[in-house]
A and B are shown apart, each in its own frame.
Chain A
């Protein structure tokens, strides 16, 4: 364990859907570790299994529907695992359990923010999305609006989200792998880049989904094992676990109550709004609703996914408390200071985000430690593959097929371009991961969520739910949301002070969603109201047909060929 003596405070802020943690400090320099062969071998097994699935998927993927939406042949249960897999990122696993380890109750606030978006997606969006859509959410947003303009806007929103999210994932992946596996940074990101290209370009949505499903099962199994081991020690009595944690933790009873992370209520609420509605605008998650056969399956998959995510967050909470009771009294997990004394929070080897990894060692020995490290790598890989597919679909299906070729393209041509896009996105991602190695990219995941909540979600929701929405309104409102989210993040502390070195932030809150999202809705509403062009009238008139289909699925084609 001495091999992990590195400062990685805030590592997981950059690794995954850790928008909540995105304001954390930078990763700093990470030292390369001795190669962890157990973890490497287990990871190679995962890669072999998923490549086998990719090979099979490639043989069965012929049409565009196969490539973008797995032919609509994913069952509700499989889709739920894949959606939950997109959520169970390295950030939420290591980051939230680390947060519980260092501050107790506060970790729960973040888990809840991640979770509560799902019910809303189900109640208002999921079924209508499935009834209207085909491959990408732009299909839905442009259903009765102007194809060219709305697709350009949606594809831009998608690519911006994918780009920021992908950079954060690549940099986080490189550092995490350096730490857990002892591989070189560049080797690590090249390995991630090549694997994601292979999954996406050859296996399309089917392979991408199965990578996510396998990873979700492995992660759930590993986390369940750790939580059981912790509860076992306390006779399955949470009160006994909490009492032991209160005794061990230097903050004592304070870990059972809200602490310093919620000093500013506006930031907390804005963060919650960003997490909640960002989820409903993340392109790689929205795509998952088109992989199931019908609205009923879409509905069920959200229900199961909510259960899985809730279960997973309860596990991370137990794991965090378990780490307090298992690790804090054992000096071998900490950097020793003068006279053998150590700081029980910040002194944890590798930083507090390593709490779950150390707990794996404490509960299951070095073999289990290798397993959890391999799963953490697999997690990053699964998420970047999904992002790459979403980006490639936006380029080929939205920009190329509908905007440049204006529908005058063959299905085979579109799929070929999608594969080329996946290769290009993969190479660009490796390059960006290389360029941003020593930059603070912590704000990028937060930015991705803010853009998703402020551009993609309002355009999608208004085009489905409000009859009055016109192309001009959606365009102006969507752009207002996109620009205001980016500008507010740039002017916030994370970028303006931390990255640019200005003395004070011009925008006082860490997360802009509370302001930028309503601005987008207002923009769409106001501009649509005053839009009296002939096209606007046609678009309002076309609402009824869209309405019937979105509510009943009558006329929906399903995810098969054009």
Chain B
């Protein structure tokens, strides 16, 4: 890509908006995933009693439920990202391409 094109893209408010929004969103979701995972691992490492606690009168423990929550949340977070990326970010990218006359 020619340098002039790069400068044009960099100067475009649409581009700046796209990058700022997506980067912030990416880091927030990454932070959420890391937080959930580390929270789970730290509970496993330091609070075994909490993880062993029974749910209701059965044998299912809190640890198993939380483990499933971590698995489901990994899937849910990717879903949230993709939904937003396929809508908002792809629209912005298309706007940008139109601005640049491509």
Which residues on A are within 8 Å of B, measured CB to CB?
105, 108-109, 111-112, 115-116, 118-120, 122-124, 127, 238-239, 242-243, 246, 253, 256-258, 262, 265, 268-269, 272, 276, 296, 299-300, 302-303, 306-307, 310, 313-314, 544-545, 547-549, 551-555
Top 5 nearest A-B pairs (CB, nearest first) are A257-B52, A265-B45, A555-B1, A256-B61, A123-B26
**Could you tell me if B6 and A123 are in contact, using CB atoms closer than 8 angstroms?**
no
Find B78's partner among A119, A124, A269, A555 (CB 8 Å cutoff): A119
Q: Which residues on B sit within 8 Å (CB–CB) of A105?
A: 51, 61, 63-64, 67
Q: Is the CB of A545 within 8 A of B30?
A: no
Residues of A contacting B30 in the complex (Cβ-Cβ under 8 angstroms)? 119-120, 123-124
Report B25-46 CB contacts with A as 1/0, cut-off 8 Å: 1110110011011101110111
Interface residues on B, range: 35 or more
Question: Would you call B91 an interface residue if the criterion is a C-beta within 8 Å of the partner chain's C-beta atoms?
Answer: no
Q: Are B60 and A112 neighbours in the complex by a CB distance under 8 Å?
A: no
Bound CA span A123–B78, Å: 8
8 new A-B contacts, CB < 8 A, other than A123-B33, A303-B79, are A116-B36, A119-B81, A123-B25, A253-B59, A269-B41, A310-B71, A548-B6, A554-B102
A61–B102 alpha-carbon span in the complex (Å): 31
A271 (CB) vs chain B CBs: closest residue: B41
| B88 is an interface residue with CB less than 8 A from chain A | no
Give residues of chain B (2-38) contacting chain A, Cβ–Cβ below 8 Å: 3, 5-6, 9-10, 15, 18-19, 22, 25-27, 29-30, 33-34, 36-38
B37–A551 touching, CB < 8 Å = no
A554 lies within 8 A of B100 (CB): yes
Question: Which residues of B, 46-102, contact A by the 8 Å Cβ criterion?
Answer: 46, 48, 51-52, 58-61, 63-64, 67-68, 70-72, 74-75, 77-79, 81-82, 85-86, 90, 93, 96-97, 100, 102
- 12 residue pairs from A and B, CB less than 8 Å apart: A112-B67, A123-B25, A127-B85, A256-B52, A269-B45, A272-B37, A307-B75, A310-B71, A545-B1, A548-B15, A551-B19, A552-B96
> Measured between alpha carbons, how far is A2 from B53 in the docked complex, in Å?
40
The reply to whether B22 and A310 contact each other, CB–CB distance below 8 Å, is: no
Q: Which of B6, B59, B86 contacts A544 (CB 8 A)?
A: B6
Chain B residues packing against A (C-beta within 8 Å)? 1, 3, 5-6, 9-10, 15, 18-19, 22, 25-27, 29-30, 33-34, 36-38, 40-42, 44-46, 48, 51-52, 58-61, 63-64, 67-68, 70-72, 74-75, 77-79, 81-82, 85-86, 90, 93, 96-97, 100, 102
**Chain B residue contacts of A547, Cβ below 8 A:** 10
Residue from the list B41, B59, B64 in contact with A243, Cβ < 8 A = B59
Q: How far is the CA of A551 from the CA of B92 in the complex (A)?
A: 11
A314 to B70, CA, bound (A): 12
Q: Which residue of A lies closest to B71 (CB)?
A: A310
SS class of chain A's interface: helix, strand, loop or mixed?
helix
CB distance A302 to B70 under 8 Å?
no
CA distance A314 to B61 in the complex (A): 16
Q: Which residue of A265, A306, A544 has the most chain B CB atoms within 10 A of its CB atom?
A: A306
A513 to chain B, nearest CB (A): 14
Q: Whose C-beta in chain B lies nearest to the C-beta of A553? A: B93
Taking each of B18, B27, B42, B81, which has the highest tally of chain A beta carbons within 10 Å of its own beta carbon? B81
B38: min CB distance to chain A, Å = 7
CA distance A115 to B19 in the complex (A): 27
Answer whether A109 and B78 are a contact pair too, CB < 8 Å, given A299-B85, A314-B68. Answer: no
Contact of A124 among B26, B37, B46, B82 (CB under 8 A): B26
Q: What residues of chain B lie closer than 8 Å to A302, measured between beta carbons?
A: 78
Contacts of A118 in B (CB 8 A): 74, 78
Min CB–CB distance A559 → chain B (angstroms): 18
Q: Are B37 and A257 touching (Cβ within 8 A)?
A: no
B59–A242 touching, CB < 8 Å = yes
The minimal Cβ–Cβ distance linking B16 to chain A, given in whole angstroms, is: 10
Q: Are B1 and A551 in contact (CB under 8 A)?
A: no
Which chain A residues border B45 with CB–CB below 8 Å? Answer: 262, 265, 268-269
The one of B15, B77, B100 that contacts A119, using a Cβ cutoff of 8 Å: B77
Q: Chain A's nearest CB lies how many Å from the CB of B87?
A: 11
Which residues from chain B contact A545 at a C-beta distance below 8 Å? 1, 3, 6
* Docked CA distance A124–B22 (Å): 10
- Asked whether A242 lies within 8 Å of B60 as measured between CB atoms, the reply is yes
- Closest chain B residue, CB of each to CB of A263: B45
Q: Are A262 and B33 in contact (CB under 8 A)?
A: no
- Please tell me if the beta carbons of B71 and A111 are within 8 angstroms of each other in the complex: yes
Q: Which of B33, B86, B102 is in CB contact (< 8 Å) with A299?
A: B86
Our pick among A313, A314, A552 for the contact of B18 (Cβ within 8 Å) is A552
Interface centre among A127, A243, A299, A552 (most CB of B within 10 A): A552
A119–B90 contact, CB under 8 A? no
Q: List the B side residues contacting A239 at CB < 8 Å.
A: 58-60
Do A122 and B1 touch across chains, with their CB atoms under 8 A apart? Answer: no
Q: With A262-B45, A296-B90 in contact, do A123 and B37 touch (Cβ < 8 Å)?
A: no
Give Cα A547–Cα B6 distance, bound, in whole angstroms: 9
A-side contacts of B82, CB under 8 Å: 122, 299-300, 303
